[in-house]
Amino acid sequence: MPELGPFGRTLILFGLILVVLGGVLLLAERLPGIGRLPGDIVVRRGGFSLYVPLASSLIASLVLTLLLNLIFRR
């Protein structure tokens, strides 16, 4: 039977990452302007609504790229 220890540790790591990501998403609701930036597209017609967060996605990508470059810099 194969060793399951490394697999268990990997699952715990992914669980912790999901918990941190969930906390960040909860805190992001309280930041002013996030999700309502000028580049975000909102279309509402009748019972249909479409939300495309272009500007919010670009800013999140930029922040995460800078943060991860600082963390994993060699």
Question: What is residue 27's predicted lDDT score, i.e. its pLDDT?
Answer: 83
Residue reference for tokens 């992914």: 14
* pLDDT tens digits along 26-59: 887 787 777 778 888 999 999 999 999 898 889 8
Beta-carbon contacts of 54 under 8 Å, excluding residues fewer than 6 positions away, are 39, 40, 41
Alpha helices in 1-74 (DSSP H): 5-28, 54-71
- Partner residues linked to 51 by β-bridges: 42
Question: What is residue 65's predicted lDDT score, i.e. its pLDDT?
Answer: 92
pTM for the whole structure: 0.57
Cα–Cα distances (Å) from 40 to 33, 43, 58, 62, in that order, read 11, 10, 10, 16
Question: What is residue 22's predicted lDDT score, i.e. its pLDDT?
Answer: 87
